[in-house]
Amino acid sequence: MRLLLILLLYFLNFNHSLSEIIFEERFEDGWKDRWVLSDWKRSEGKAGTFKHTAGRWAADPDDKGLQTYIDARHYAISAKIPQFSNKNRTLVFQYSIKFEQDIECGGGYVKLMSAYVNQKKFGGDTPYSFMFGPDICGTQTKKLQVIVSYQGQNYPIKKDIECETDKLTHFYTFILRPDATYSVLIDNRERESGSLYTDWDILPPPKIKDVHAKKPSNWDDREYITDPNDVKPQGYDSIPKEIPDPKAKKPVDWDEEEDGIWRPKKIPNPAYKGPWKPKVLVFRFNLRKLITCSIFKHLEHGVQKIKNPNYKGKWKIPWIDNPEFVDDPDLYVWKPIKYIGIEVWQVKAGSIYDNILLCDDPKYAKEVVEEIWAKNRLAEKEAFEEAEKIRLAQEEQGKKDKEGEKKRNRGWRHHKRVLHFCFTVFYF
């Protein structure tokens, strides 16, 4: 039993040794040596800087990240990392972010870059291989950006993935596998998955509709038709409405010389059915059942219809091979990643970036989330609620102070008017 346990631990450690952590940043001692603050927009007075802090509320005040802290600024900072190629490997990118501000409009994403980057000039126009993270603007835009670059063009994911918008820390994880499948996780819970081939318009579709196709002239798409056997019988129109009464008898005293030719009286002809009409159905149930009855759906002006034996279904435009489609079995392969960068613009600042991870092991990324977020989220929530109580109390006190100031000002104005009146009366 002991031997089995030792072997199990060995294989677990062996599997971990095969995985590789390319870059992991928790913004502890020495982080300034790894990150370069860009001067992009600084000459225009529009560049922001980052503050190394745990924020106004945190489970652990010593667990610090980088916070944007000046409103209406562009933020750009980057780190050079060991070159990483995901060919035949799983790529895992993960980080945490906390929006301490009431974010009105701004990004909270991170970029991975492959080409050489002049880090002091890193900015919004710097090409990137991948952009991932929350993007919020007003009440309409609260989505997770997942943008992949391919042959110099950026392709956003076609699916809408909602991001978190509260004021607590959340982990965002993107996993890309060698079979081009992906997963997006928030706080270790999968929010979306699929394939690069289907969820991005990177490659032209392999099949397209044949715009030149036309419905064949002999294509019968009538599901129900009038019963062809329900036709007007031959001679139907010759049937008289009335016929002589066969039971009538000429009176005994009838004198044809005086009374004329005797003709029996007419009676309704039982064979006469009126003008010919196709067969109709007579329903003997309530209107609700009539509306939902499948037979009723196949009536036209009360005429019963039958299944069309020649029905071929609704004609659809056929799909054909797309002549512009060229498959790329290495669609999942990105140019080797060399830099990680934060480049955002925010109306209101206050976002804290932390726990940035690039590796090839989804299990390790999951363990990081469990170690930090799962362990600290309740304590962080309590710290946030306590901070909110203090903030609301301060706001309430501020309102009272303002009201008191207004009352004092009103009293002073009143005394001033009285003094002015007294002075005027005394002087004159």
Q: Which residues contact 120 (CB under 8 A, 6 or more apart)?
A: 36, 38, 39
pLDDT tens per residue across span 377-428: 899 999 888 988 887 877 777 777 677 777 777 666 666 676 666 666 666 5
In a domain, 419, yes or no: no
In a domain, 283, yes or no: no
Residue at token pair 């129900």: 224
Residue at token pair 């091979």: 321
The pLDDT, as a whole number, for residue 287 is: 53
What percent of the chain stands above pLDDT 90? 62
Q: For residue 236, say whether it is annotated as part of any ligand binding site.
A: no
Q: Average pLDDT of 32-37?
A: 98
In a domain, 276, yes or no: no
In sequence order, the β-bridge partners of residue 21 are 359
The pLDDT, as a whole number, for residue 282 is: 47
- 304 exposure class (CB count in 10 Å sphere: 0-12, 13-18, 19+): middle
pLDDT tens per residue across span 162-195: 999 999 999 999 999 999 999 999 999 999 999 9
**Distance (Å, rounded) from C-alpha 49 to C-alpha 42?**
10
The dihedrals phi and psi of 157, each to the nearest 5 degrees, come to -65, 145
Q: Give the residue among 76, 78, 71 at the shortest CA–CA distance from 124.
A: 76
What is the SS3 assignment for 173-220? EEEECCCCEEEEEECCEEEEEEEHHHHCCCCCCCEEECCCCCCCCCCC
Q: Which residues contact 267 (CB under 8 A, 6 or more apart)?
A: 242, 243, 244, 245
**Distance (Å, rounded) from C-alpha 90 to C-alpha 24?**
16
The pLDDT, as a whole number, for residue 283 is: 46
In sequence order, the β-bridge partners of residue 266 are 244
Mean pLDDT of all residues belonging to the chain: 87
In a domain, 49, yes or no: yes
Tokens coding 266 = 């007419």
Q: Give the residue among 116, 35, 134 at the shortest CA–CA distance from 336.
A: 116
pLDDT tens per residue across span 293-320: 555 555 555 567 889 999 999 999 999 9
pLDDT tens per residue across span 126-156: 999 999 999 999 888 899 999 999 999 999 9
Buried-exposed string 80-105: b where 16+ CB fall within 10 A, e elsewhere: bbeebebeebbbbbbbbbbbbbebee
- Within 210-327, strands assigned E span 224-226, 242-244, 266-268, 299-300, 303-307, 319-321
- Within 71-129, strands assigned E span 73-84, 91-99, 105-107, 110-113
Over 60: is that where the pLDDT of 34 sits?
A: yes
What percent of the chain stands above pLDDT 70? 85
Strands 65-68 and 337-346, by their bridges, are unpaired
Q: Average pLDDT of 71-82?
A: 98
**Distance (Å, rounded) from C-alpha 210 to C-alpha 322?**
9
List the CATH number of the domain containing 337. 2.60.120.200
Strands 105-107 and 130-137, by their bridges, are antiparallel
The pLDDT, as a whole number, for residue 48 is: 96
**Distance (Å, rounded) from C-alpha 231 to C-alpha 394?**
90
The conformation of residue 236, written as its DSSP 8-state character, comes to G
In a domain, 372, yes or no: yes
The conformation of residue 29, written as its DSSP 8-state character, comes to T
Alpha helices in 19-133 (DSSP H): 31-34
- Within 189-321, strands assigned E span 189-195, 207-209, 224-226, 242-244, 266-268, 299-300, 303-307, 319-321
Q: Give CA separation, 209 vs 198, 257, 315, 327, in Å.
A: 17, 89, 13, 18
The pLDDT, as a whole number, for residue 301 is: 54
Q: With H, G, I as helix, E, B as strand and everything else as coil, classify residue 374.
A: helix
Over 70: is that where the pLDDT of 347 sits?
A: yes
What is the separation, in whole angstroms, between the first and last Cα of the chain? 113
Q: Average pLDDT of 81-105?
A: 96
Q: For residue 135, say whether it is annotated as part of any ligand binding site.
A: yes
In a domain, 177, yes or no: yes
In sequence order, the β-bridge partners of residue 319 are 209
The pLDDT, as a whole number, for residue 243 is: 85
Domain count, the chain: 1
In a domain, 293, yes or no: no
In sequence order, the β-bridge partners of residue 74 are 47, 345
The pLDDT, as a whole number, for residue 116 is: 96
How many angstroms separate the most distant Cα atoms in the chain?
146
Over 80: is that where the pLDDT of 280 sits?
A: no
- ∠ Cα 42 44 47 (to 5°): 35
Within a 10 A sphere around the Cβ of 167, how many other Cβ atoms? 20
In a domain, 14, yes or no: no
Give residue 187's domain range.
Answer: 20-203+330-390
Q: Which helix (H) or strand (E) holds 134?
A: strand 130-137
Over 90: is that where the pLDDT of 358 sits?
A: yes
Over 60: is that where the pLDDT of 231 sits?
A: yes
Q: For residue 343, say whether it is annotated as part of any ligand binding site.
A: yes
Q: With H, G, I as helix, E, B as strand and everything else as coil, classify residue 285.
A: coil
Q: Comparing 14 with 245, which gets the higher pLDDT?
A: 245
The pLDDT, as a whole number, for residue 390 is: 83
